């Protein structure tokens, strides 16, 4: 018999705040987390804007030895995981930690470490490469270090599907608990890509916005959009088997009821122009949830603010939902957060969860110029009080990876 899977804990460190409460309050106050890049000198780059975690001091969270041994993305992941686990109330007294898993992803991993150690090699030779280079740089180390930090000993994996990574992580965690293999799983993603090679790589592929006005840089579905804004941070959710959560008296934020994932099999960076891959991911999630398209109240779109993404996702939503696409409320919250890459899906899963909890639709902020081709019911600029019992979140990644999760109000 399949198990029901609920959300019992949330954790985050983002460009909007150092925890979930700060992040959500900033969103409600229409804060844009995008600003001038300070983490590196961008005088020779066209890209001037990013969404950085503000006023971050690792010594608030780790001792000096740990800060030297954990890449920035792993630090963020650990901070968010600690908050999520604490929020859930899961302890070794009420839960067997042998049955708590970690499904934590990153699109890129320890990019700051990779850049630093490559510089060491070119400037000083191979003997000056740190022995910590590999364990700091590889993409699975957020999951590995969370396990060490929190002492959880269930299945630990890191799924890498670019910007769909943390939605895949949540979806696969949901499937694992649903099948009865774990009691609870820490699921989400982390990213810290704001460095010379990160900016240069995305800039040279013409993916980034070159805007210098922070309020017109990440503008999903707006006709004047010109690229995405890179962001950093980490977001985690605790997924838990329903009976286990109820037995220990947990607060339940919502229930994950559907997951769908597909591949475009089309291009290494561009989405399939007919939107077929994203369409099928949404349809799979809807079928898995056992609902109808008209049951969905809100869609948090991938909505990256690139011309192709927003256009093809619009088409995909129309194809997946049919007539219901004309009335479902849609927004992309990347106007607030920028694009957190591998952590974006987990950020948006938390936003969907909070939207259900407070019965509101978050807006696409700084939306001004309507694009006739992106003709969904885009919620612009202000939160709207509205029934949100079922929310869908889409994530689409380079390589043609598509992932969709559906979250429902717990009843």
Q: Is 126 assigned a catalytic role?
A: no
d(CA 352, CA 32): 18
d(CA 179, CA 170): 14
Neighbours of 191 (CB within 10 A): 33
Token reading at 168: 């895949």
Q: Are 86 and 265 in contact (CB under 8 A)?
A: no
Helix axes of 344-358 and 20-28: crossing angle, nearest 10 degrees: 70
Backbone CA torsion sign across 403, 295, 332, 407: negative
Cβ partners under 8 Å of residue 131, min gap 6:
none
Q: Which helix (H) or strand (E) holds 184?
A: strand 184-191
Running DSSP on this structure, what letter comes out for residue 95?
S
The beta strand positions in 134-175, using DSSP E, are: 156-157
Closest to 261 in 3D by CA, of 136, 195, 172: 172
Catalytic residue among 339, 352, 374, 401: 339
Q: Is 244 assigned a catalytic role?
A: no
Helices (H), 237-372: 242-247, 276-289, 307-321, 334-337, 344-358
CA 310 to each of CA 226, 363, 383: distance values in angstroms, whole numbers, following the listed order:
11, 15, 21
d(CA 118, CA 229): 25
Rg (CA), the chain: 20
Phi, psi of 331 (to 5 degrees): -155, 160
Closest to 188 in 3D by CA, of 13, 26, 345: 345
CA 53 to each of CA 35, 38, 61, 75, 163: distance values in angstroms, whole numbers, following the listed order:
11, 10, 14, 12, 18
Catalytic residue among 168, 235, 244, 302: 302
Q: Is 352 assigned a catalytic role?
A: no
Backbone CA torsion sign across 317, 270, 311, 219: positive
The catalytic site residues sit at 163, 302, 339
């Amino acid at each position: 018999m399949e198990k029901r899977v609920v959300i019992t804990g949330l954790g985050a460190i983002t460009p909007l705040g150092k925890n979930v409460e700060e992040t959500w309050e900033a969103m409600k106050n229409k804060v844009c987390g995008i600003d001038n890049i300070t983490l590196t000198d961008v005088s020779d780059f066209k890209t001037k804007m990013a969404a950085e975690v503000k006023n971050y001091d690792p010594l608030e969270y780790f001792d000096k030895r740990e800060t030297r041994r954990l890449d920035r993305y792993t630090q963020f992941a650990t901070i968010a995981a600690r908050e999520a686990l604490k929020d859930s109330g899961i302890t070794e007294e009420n839960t067997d930690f042998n049955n708590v898993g970690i499904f934590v992803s990153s699109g890129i991993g320890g990019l700051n470490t990779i850049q630093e150690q490559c510089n060491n090699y070119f400037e000083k030779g191979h003997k000056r490469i740190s022995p910590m280079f590999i364990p700091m740089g590889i993409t699975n180390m957020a999951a590995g270090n969370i396990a060490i930090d929190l002492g959880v000993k269930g299945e630990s994996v890191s799924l890498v599907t670019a910007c769909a990574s943390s939605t895949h992580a949540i979806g696969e965690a949901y499937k694992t608990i649903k099948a009865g293999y774990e009691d609870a799983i820490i699921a989400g993603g982390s990213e810290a890509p704001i460095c010379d090679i990160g900016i240069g790589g995305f800039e040279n592929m013409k993916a980034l916005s070159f805007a210098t006005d922070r309020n017109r840089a990440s503008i999903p579905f707006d006709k004047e959009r010109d690229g995405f804004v890179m962001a950093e941070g980490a977001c985690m959710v605790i997924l838990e088997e329903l009976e286990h959560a109820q037995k220990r008296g947990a607060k339940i934020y919502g229930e994950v009821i559907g997951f769908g994932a597909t591949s475009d099999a089309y291009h290494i960076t561009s989405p399939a122009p007919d939107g077929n891959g994203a369409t099928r991911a949404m349809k799979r999630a809807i079928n898995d949830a056992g609902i109808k398209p008209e049951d969905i109240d809100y869609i948090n779109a991938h909505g990256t603010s690139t011309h192709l993404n927003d256009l093809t996702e619009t088409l995909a939503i129309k194809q997946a939902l049919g007539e219901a696409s004309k009335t479902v409320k849609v927004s992309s919250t990347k106007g607030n957060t920028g694009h957190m890459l591998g952590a974006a899906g987990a950020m948006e899963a938390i936003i969907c969860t909070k939207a259900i909890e407070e019965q509101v639709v978050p807006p696409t902020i700084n939306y001004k110029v309507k694009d006739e081709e992106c003709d969904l019911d885009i919620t612009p600029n202000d939160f709207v009080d509205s029934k949100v019992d079922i929310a869908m979140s889409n994530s689409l990644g380079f390589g043609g990876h598509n992932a969709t999760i559906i979250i429902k109000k717990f009843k």
